[in-house]
């Protein structure tokens, strides 16, 4: 009889470590061959140009999908897309009960699930301080300030080990929505039972001091709107409800009405108003009111702060929005930061707007944006309140993780560990340590298909985009002689007269030369002919062009 291994508490990040976005973490308890798990967050990220045709990236959950009977709960810390955006798409593979706040749930329902069918997960709503059980874990949500309502840190109690999973947070004396993060509440939790490990947000770990307050941004936006002589358009993250409220209140103070462009913004505003977060704000107007208001009496609130090609801001910059156009002297305020990878799209929009005589204002000129994540001073304050024995930095790129680990050591947390997605980290040993690894990576949202890049053909698609494709079809008779001329199709391959020889001629000559080199007896095997022609054509085109395209060859053997 096999000996049962000792129960352990483990942490397994499957997304959000070494990157910003796509957050997903597993916590497990039990012997190695019989663990129970909870999942914290299920977020997405946005694809870059290196994955053509793909908009969304999801964490690869195939490890836990294969063991989904052991997944006791999915717990959502807050409703930002990088924490909840993959849930509707991936839940059918996981089938676990979901725990989230009322705001997160309502926003998820309002968003709809498009290609993934109705969201049928059993959902339990939790509230601040109300502990609940999931398998061997007891979980206590602790409210924190962030740029969206109902953001929570999670106290996760496993048998013999206590973890603080901070989620996204900051210290903000004027959060605009919600209450400030209460360090005393963390201190009281630590007094009740010491925290063994803290898994902590690292986004701003390279920035000194404390983050400015959301309240200060609201006051600055009020000044900007009062000073402006014409229309003001504000673009921001659609889920930043605190900033939306700041814009609405600033517009009211400046005597402006707010016109909203963007379905995502309308959705978030509707949910926020239903739950009371914008109940005291004036109603927003639809786009058809834009041209009916005096230029100094309108604030346009719109999507597109990240340069998204189909969003309102990009369309306005190209003069192809059906209902809205800006004019010289109008002002566009970027009340957001640019996510790494989106810089080119934003720069293009700024240049087009500037050419039209439209003014641009960002947080480089005035404090019209503030991050929802802690800087170094705030991290240190939380360290002192929580007093964890060990710290694992997450939610950041390599430079952010390293900076937080060093900061923690400087402030008396001797045990720090930098991990990667897929690492299995034992938390309840003498010190946290990596003891194993599991498959991790990305799934791509490709139309209605969600699968790995290899399975969806995305990597091959990238190759085709870079090198083009040559398609060849030829027919041979039973003796191996060519019947007619080969059919050659070039896609994404140059036809420039500056080539030393036209490629279609190069390919045709290569086909005949290759056939001549194959013994007649072997020409009866279409696979042999196809592979020989494919290799020869790629090499010949590479010799003339300098690139080897993909090449598909179809050979038909006609028996007489």
The tens digit of pLDDT for each residue in 18-38 reads: 988 899 999 999 999 899 999
% of the chain beyond a pLDDT of 90: 77
Looking at residue 38, its pLDDT comes to: 98
Looking at residue 459, its pLDDT comes to: 79
Locate tokens 């002192």: which residue?
Answer: 384
* Model confidence pLDDT, tens digit, residues 104-116: 999 998 887 555 5
- Kindly tell me if the per-residue pLDDT of 541 is higher than 80: yes
What would the mean pLDDT of 393-400 be, rounded to a whole number? 96
What would the mean pLDDT of 246-255 be, rounded to a whole number? 96
Looking at residue 114, its pLDDT comes to: 53
- Kindly tell me if the per-residue pLDDT of 53 is higher than 80: no
> Residue 398 has which token pair?
């390599």
Looking at residue 47, its pLDDT comes to: 76
- The CATH code of domain 8-209+371-447 reads 3.60.15.10
Looking at residue 337, its pLDDT comes to: 87
Looking at residue 1, its pLDDT comes to: 37
Which has the minimum average pLDDT: 11-15, 32-36, 304-308, 325-329? 304-308
Q: Residues 203-218, buried b or exposed e (16+ Cβ, 10 A)? A: bbbbbeebbbbbbebb
d(CA 408, CA 161): 20
* Model confidence pLDDT, tens digit, residues 318-330: 999 999 999 999 9
Specify the higher pLDDT residue, 79 or 113: 79
- Kindly tell me if the per-residue pLDDT of 288 is higher than 50: yes
What would the mean pLDDT of 389-394 be, rounded to a whole number? 98
Looking at residue 451, its pLDDT comes to: 84
The length of the chain in residues reads: 560
Looking at residue 49, its pLDDT comes to: 67
- Kindly tell me if the per-residue pLDDT of 452 is higher than 90: no
Q: How confident is the model at residue 444 (pLDDT cuts 50, 70, 90)?
A: confident
Does the pTM exceed 0.75?
yes
Q: Which CATH architecture group holds 468-558?
A: Roll (3.10)
Supply the DSSP string of 80-117, one letter for each residue. -HHHHTTHHHHHHHH---EEE-HHHHHHHHHH--GGG-
d(CA 109, CA 113): 8
Q: Residues 425-447, buried b or exposed e (16+ Cβ, 10 A)? A: bbbbeeebeeeeebebebbbbbe
Beta bridge partners of 142: 153
pLDDT averaged over every residue in the chain: 92
- Kindly tell me if the per-residue pLDDT of 359 is higher than 70: yes
Closest CA to 125 of 146, 145, 148, 109: 109
Which has the minimum average pLDDT: 113-122, 183-192, 480-489? 113-122
% of the chain beyond a pLDDT of 70: 98
- Do the Cβ atoms of 256 and 220 come closer than 8 Å? no
- Do the Cβ atoms of 332 and 360 come closer than 8 Å? yes
Looking at residue 282, its pLDDT comes to: 94
Domain limits of the chain?
Answer: 8-209+371-447, 214-361, 468-558
Helices (H) and strands (E) in the chain, counts: 16, 27
Q: Which CATH architecture group holds 214-361?
A: 3-Layer(aba) Sandwich (3.40)
> In what order do the strands lie in the sheet containing 298-302?
257-261, 298-302, 232-235, 331-334, 359-361
Closest CA to 160 of 131, 138, 141: 138
What would the mean pLDDT of 109-128 be, rounded to a whole number? 79
Residue 482 sits at the vertex; the CA angle it makes with 480 and 484, to the nearest 5 degrees, is: 155
d(CA 533, CA 451): 33
Q: Of the ranges 51-65, 221-235, 504-518, which is most confident?
A: 221-235
Which residues have a Cβ under 8 Å from the Cβ of 437 and sit 6 or more positions away?
Answer: 422, 423, 424
Closest CA to 76 of 54, 59, 101: 101
* Model confidence pLDDT, tens digit, residues 160-170: 999 999 999 99
Q: How confident is the model at residue 4 (pLDDT cuts 50, 70, 90)?
A: low
């Amino acid at each position: 009889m096999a000996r049962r291994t000792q129960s352990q508490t483990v942490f397994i990040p499957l997304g959000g470590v070494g990157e910003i976005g796509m957050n997903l973490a597993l916590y497990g308890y039990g012997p190695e061959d019989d663990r129970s798990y909870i999942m914290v967050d299920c977020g997405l990220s946005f694809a870059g140009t290196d994955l053509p045709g793909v908009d969304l990236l999801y964490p690869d959950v195939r490890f836990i999908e294969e063991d989904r009977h052991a997944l006791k709960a999915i717990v959502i810390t807050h409703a930002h897309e990088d924490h909840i955006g993959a849930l509707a798409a991936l839940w059918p593979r996981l089938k676990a009960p979901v725990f989230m706040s009322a705001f997160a749930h309502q926003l998820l329902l309002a968003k709809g699930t498009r290609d993934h069918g109705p969201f049928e997960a059993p959902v339990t709503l939790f509230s601040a301080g109300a502990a609940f059980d999931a398998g061997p874990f007891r979980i206590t949500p602790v409210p924190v300030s962030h740029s969206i309502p109902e953001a929570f840190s999670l106290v996760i109690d496993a048998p013999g080990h206590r973890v603080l999973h901070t989620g996204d947070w900051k210290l903000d004396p004027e959060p605009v929505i919600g209450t400030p993060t209460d360090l005393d509440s963390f201190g009281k939790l630590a007094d009740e039972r010491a925290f063994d490990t803290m898994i902590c947000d690292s986004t701003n770990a390279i920035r000194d001091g404390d983050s400015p307050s959301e309240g200060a941004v609201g006051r600055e936006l009020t000044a900007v709107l009062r000073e402006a002589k014409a229309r003001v358009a504000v673009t921001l993250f659609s889920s930043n409800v605190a900033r939306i409220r700041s814009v609405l209140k600033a517009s009211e103070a400046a005597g402006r009405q707010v016109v909203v462009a963007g379905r995502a913004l309308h959705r978030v505003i509707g949910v926020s108003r239903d739950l009371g977060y914008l109940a005291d704000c004036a109603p927003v107007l639809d786009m058809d009111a834009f041209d009916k208001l005096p230029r100094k009496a309108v604030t346009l609130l719109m999507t597109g702060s990240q340069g998204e090609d189909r969003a309102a801001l990009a369309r306005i910059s190209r003069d192809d929005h059906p209902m809205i156009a800006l004019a010289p002297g109008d002002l566009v305020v970027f009340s957001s930061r640019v996510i790494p990878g989106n810089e080119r799209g934003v720069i293009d929009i700024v240049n087009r707007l500037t050419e039209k005589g439209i003014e641009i204002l960002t947080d480089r000129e005035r404090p019209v944006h503030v991050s929802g994540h802690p800087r170094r001073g705030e991290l240190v304050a939380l360290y002192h309140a929580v007093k964890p024995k060990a710290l694992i930095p997450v939610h950041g790129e390599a430079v952010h993780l390293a900076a937080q680990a060093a900061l923690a050591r400087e402030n008396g947390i001797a045990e720090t560990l930098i991990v990667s997605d897929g690492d299995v980290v034992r938390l309840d040993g003498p010190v946290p340590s990596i003891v194993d690894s599991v498959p991790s990576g990305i799934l791509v949202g490709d139309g209605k298909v969600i699968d790995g890049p290899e399975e969806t053909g995305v990597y091959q698609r990238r190759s085709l985009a870079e090198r083009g494709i040559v398609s060849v079809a030829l027919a041979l008779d039973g003796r191996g002689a060519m019947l007619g001329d080969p059919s050659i199709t070039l896609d994404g391959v140059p036809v420039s007269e500056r080539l030393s020889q036209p490629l279609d001629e190069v390919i045709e000559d290569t086909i005949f030369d290759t056939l001549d080199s194959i013994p007649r007896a072997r020409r009866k095997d279409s696979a042999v002919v196809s592979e020989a022609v494919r290799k020869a054509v790629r090499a010949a085109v590479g010799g003339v062009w300098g690139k080897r395209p993909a090449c598909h060859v179809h050979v038909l053997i006609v028996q007489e």
